[in-house]
Each structure stands twice: as structure tokens, then as C-alpha cells.
Amino acid sequence: MRFRKLCIISVAFLFLLTAFLLLAANSDSTWNSIFKSGIDAAAEYDKLKSEDERFTAGVSRPEAEGGKHKAEESKLSAEDGQSEVKNDRSGKEGGRFAEENDLLKKEDGRPENKNKKINVVTSIFPVYINTLNVVRDINTVSVTNLVPATEDDVHKYRLTSRDLEVLEEADVLIINGAGVETFIEDVRNLFPDLEILDLNKDIAFPKDEDRVSRHYTWLDISNTIVQLQKITQFFCSIDPENEEQFKINEGDYYVRLEMMLDRYMQVGELISNNNIAVMHGGLEYIAQNAGLNVVYSVEEELGENPSTEELKDAAVIIKERGAQVLLVDSSQRSEDLNAVALETGIELCYIDTFVDGKNEEPMSYSVYIHAMRENLNALRGALLS
């Protein structure tokens, strides 16, 4: 059995050896092809492996970039968080600014008083007209005059129950001063908190300032202009929102007053004899407008309500002092005075003293200008006759 196996193995070996030799003898190219194929296979394997590695790397790169993107997203999220913080802070600051703005609006606008009118009370008609010209076309100011036009003597006027009601609602009382309003002390006692604007507070009066005849300061156009300016300054201080309009109104009226004063001065320049006499000292303001020289004042010499004989004596003195014209308050018209004038040859010139408004028709902002023009015409006619 053992010998048999050995024989079989030997035969198989010989068979294989014979086949091998035959193949070797036929062609070496076959082996070269096989060997080369093995080498090419190995190279292809290496190439595929390299490409595979590159692909694997290509897959891992986006993952790395994804990590980068994640980092960038985290950064953006952080920035967004900061933006939210900033926006929150801006919102808080904006709220603070809004609160401050509301506070300023309350302080500056004063809405609770925005529609409240300034209640102004004037004492007498001349002050009333001067004030109206300052507040013209301004609806935040209301003006009421105290002494009625029917009052014969403002110097003797006493407060009524109606006046007390008006003063109770007043924000300010504007007076002429210079002793005209004899009731002013009663006002101060009854209304100690009421603001009073005295238009003649700083005016220096010539001679005896306590004389009633010196109280007609509004007949001096220059003084009326000063009062106009004081009224304007006052309203500009209490109602600054309308300051521009107050000053425009003042300017318009100022021009007209200046023109009227110039006309008075022209009359004085036209005459050779500028001496004149007056019934009372208040009329001296009219003479002063025209640059005339007052040589005699009847009431200053004789007191109020002189007799006919005293008037005749006064007429003689007036003519001796070189005057031919006597200025008379239009409220003092009388037959006795006219008779004295006829007898002595004195020219009477009646002047509207503008104490009240009962003689002023029609009523307008220019009523004072109209009255002073009529006085000018009367003066010119008397001096040039």
C-alpha cells in the first residue's frame, strides 16, 4: 500500500514536471504577461487605494468645514445675543428719553393753562385804547375797562359791585397813575395779590404833580408813546409766545403817534407868536406837543370854577402876557366863558381831553388818533385866525 502511494505521487510529479517544461518551451511571453498583469494589478490597487483615501479625505473636509460653519454660527449667535442686549438697552434708553420728552412737553406746553386767557383790566379810557392797540388780533388776551364812559369825573370815581367782580377775575390792572385813579388804594387793600402796572410810575412831572390838572398825561403824545412801550414790554414778559405780534402792533401804532406829534410841531413852526393860555394844567400837554409857551393857567391862578368877573380879569392878564388864545377843556363849555371871550377878544380853543369815550364816535383802535387830530385842527384854526 505504501509502495503504491509512492508510485502514484511519483507519476503525478513527473506529469507536472513534463507539463511545466512544455509550457516553458513554448513561450516565455505568457509568463511575462502574467507577471506584468500582477504588477499592473498591484499598481491599480495602489491607485484605487489612493483615490479611496482622497475620497475619504473629501468626505472628512466638509465635516471639518461643517465644524467651521458651526463655529461661525456660534459666533453669529453670540453677536445676535449682543444685538439683543443692545436693542434691549436702546429700548430702555428710548423709554427714558420718551419719559423726559413727555416731562418737557408738560413743563413747556403747560396744557392745563394753554387755553386760559389773560384777563386784563384797565382803569380809564385812554389806558384802555392804548392797551387794545398792543393786544390787537391776539386772542389770548381779553381787556375790560373799569371806569365807564358815562362817568363825568374819573377823579371822584368809586368802585362798584360790578367793578369788584371784574377785579376778582383779573390777572393784572393797568392804570394811568399820577393820581388819576383815586380808588387805587381801595383796590390794593381788597386785592393785595393783584398785579398793578402803573404807566406813570417813573415819570417826573413838572411843578406840582399832585394837582388834578397835571393828571392828563395821555394828552402828551410823547408820554403816550412811552406808555405804549411799557404796555408792550409787560405783555411780552407774560405772554412770550405772542411777543412778535405784540411788537408788530406796537410798531404800527407807534408810527401813527409819531406822525401826529410831527403835525403838532409843524403848527408851532407856522406861527410867529407861540404864547398861549390854558384853563387848567392838563391842557399844557397839548401846548407842549406844538412847542407853545404857556403864559397863564386860569385854575392855577384862580382855582376851579372861577366866576365871570375873575375870568374877565384873567383875560386881561392873558393879553398883557402876549397870548391871544385860551385852551379850554370841552367839558367846561359855558355861556359865561363865551361872553368873556367876546368882551375881551380872547380866542377860545376847545380841546377834547379824552378822559372818557362818550364823545368818541365811532369807536375804533384809532379813536385816540382821531381825537388828537380834531384837537390839532382846533388849535391850528385858533392860532392862525
246 and 275, same structural domain?
no
201 and 144, same structural domain?
yes
Q: Is residue 368 part of a domain?
A: no
User: What would the pLDDT profile of 208-264 be if each residue is shown by its tens digit?
Assistant: 544 545 679 999 999 999 999 999 999 999 999 999 999 999 999 999 999 999 999
pLDDT, residue 39, reads: 45
Give the chain's length.
385
Q: Is residue 318 part of a domain?
A: yes
Angle at 126 between CA 163 and CA 203, to 5 degrees: 105
- CA dist 167 and 173 (Å) reads 8
Do residues 326 and 279 lie in contact, with contact meaning Cβ atoms separated by under 8 Å? yes
Q: Is the pLDDT of residue 54 over 50?
A: no
Q: Which of 214, 233, 258 finishes a domain?
A: 258
pLDDT, residue 100, reads: 44
Average pLDDT score over residue span 59-82? 44
- CA dist 305 and 216 (Å) reads 18
- CA dist 77 and 93 (Å) reads 24
Q: Is residue 184 part of a domain?
A: yes
Q: How many domains, the chain?
A: 2
The pairing of strands 293-297 and 275-278 is: parallel
Q: Is the pLDDT of residue 66 over 50?
A: no
Q: Is the pLDDT of residue 189 over 90?
A: yes
pLDDT, residue 206, reads: 55
140 and 240, same structural domain?
yes
215 and 131, same structural domain?
yes
280 and 162, same structural domain?
no
pLDDT, residue 57, reads: 40
236 and 196, same structural domain?
yes
pLDDT, residue 299, reads: 86
Q: Is residue 21 part of a domain?
A: no
pLDDT, residue 167, reads: 98
**Residue 110: all three cell numbers together:** 403747560
Q: Is the pLDDT of residue 135 over 70?
A: yes
254 and 122, same structural domain?
yes
Q: Is residue 377 part of a domain?
A: no
Work out the pLDDT band at 385, boundaries 50, 70, 90.
confident
Choice between 297 and 8, residue whose per-residue pLDDT is larger = 297
pLDDT, residue 290, reads: 95
- Lowest-pLDDT range, 46-50, 107-111, 293-297, 346-350? 107-111
278 and 346, same structural domain?
yes
Task: Supply the DSSP symbol for 346.
Answer: P
CATH at residue 317: 3.40.50.1980
pLDDT, residue 34, reads: 39
Q: Is residue 307 part of a domain?
A: yes
Q: Is residue 134 part of a domain?
A: yes
Q: Is the pLDDT of residue 131 over 60?
A: yes
> What is the amino acid identity at position 39?
I
* Structural domain span for residue 147: 118-258
Phi-psi region of 199 (alpha: psi -120 to 50; beta: other; left: phi over 0): alpha
pTM above 0.85, yes or no: no
200 and 306, same structural domain?
no
Count of CB atoms within 10 A of residue 170's CB? 22
Distances (CA, A) of 196 to 122, 170, 244, 259, 307: 10, 10, 24, 31, 40
The pairing of strands 347-351 and 325-329 is: parallel
Can you count the helices (H) and strands (E) in the chain?
A: 12, 8
251 and 126, same structural domain?
yes
Burial 133-154 (b: 16+ CB within 10 A, else e): bbbbebebbebebbbeeebeeb
Omega into 62 within 30° of 0, i.e. cis? no
Average pLDDT score over residue span 52-67? 40
193 and 140, same structural domain?
yes
Burial category of 263 from C-beta neighbours within 10 Å (exposed 0-12, middle 13-18, buried 19 and up): middle
User: What would the pLDDT profile of 253-308 be if each residue is shown by its tens digit?
Assistant: 999 999 999 999 999 888 889 999 999 988 999 999 999 999 999 988 888 888 89
Q: Is the pLDDT of residue 89 over 50?
A: no
Q: Is residue 16 part of a domain?
A: no
pLDDT, residue 205, reads: 59
pLDDT, residue 6, reads: 54
The pairing of strands 141-145 and 293-297 is: unpaired
pLDDT, residue 149, reads: 76
pLDDT, residue 70, reads: 46
207 and 328, same structural domain?
no
- CA dist 174 and 105 (Å) reads 32
